Amino acid sequence: MDNLLAYILMALMMSMLPGTDTVLIMKNTLNHGAKAGRYTILGMATGLTFWTIIVVLGLSVVIAQSVVLFNTIKYLGAAYLFYIGIRSFFAKSTLSFEDVQADSQLSLEKISHNHSKESYLQGVISNILNPKTVLVYITFMPQFIDLKGDTNQQLIVLGLILTLIAVGWFLILVFLLDHVKKWLKKPRFQNVFQKSTGVMLIGFGVKTVL
- 6-23 pLDDT, tens digit per residue, is 899 999 998 888 888 998
Residue 109 binned pLDDT confidence (cut-offs 50, 70, 90): low
Whether 106 and 100 have beta carbons less than 8 Å apart is answered as: no
- Is 14 inside a domain boundary? no
- Is 109 inside a domain boundary? yes
Distances (CA, A) of 196 to 89, 90, 91, 94, 200: 7, 11, 12, 12, 6
Q: Radius of gyration over alpha carbons of the chain, in Å?
A: 18
Which DSSP string do the residues of 57-77 spell out, in sequence order? TTHHHHHHH-HHHHHHHHHHH
Q: Indicate yes or no: pTM above 0.85.
A: no
- Is 6 inside a domain boundary? no
Measured distance CA(115)–CA(138) in Å, rounded:
34
Residue 112 belongs to domain spanning: 20-209
Q: Which pLDDT tens digit goes with each residue over 110-161? A: 666 688 889 999 999 989 988 788 788 877 888 888 878 888 888 899 999 9
Measured distance CA(156)–CA(172) in Å, rounded:
24
CA max distance for the chain: 63
Predicted pLDDT of residue 138: 79
Amino acid at 105: Q
The number of domains in the chain is 1
- Is 2 inside a domain boundary? no
- Is 12 inside a domain boundary? no
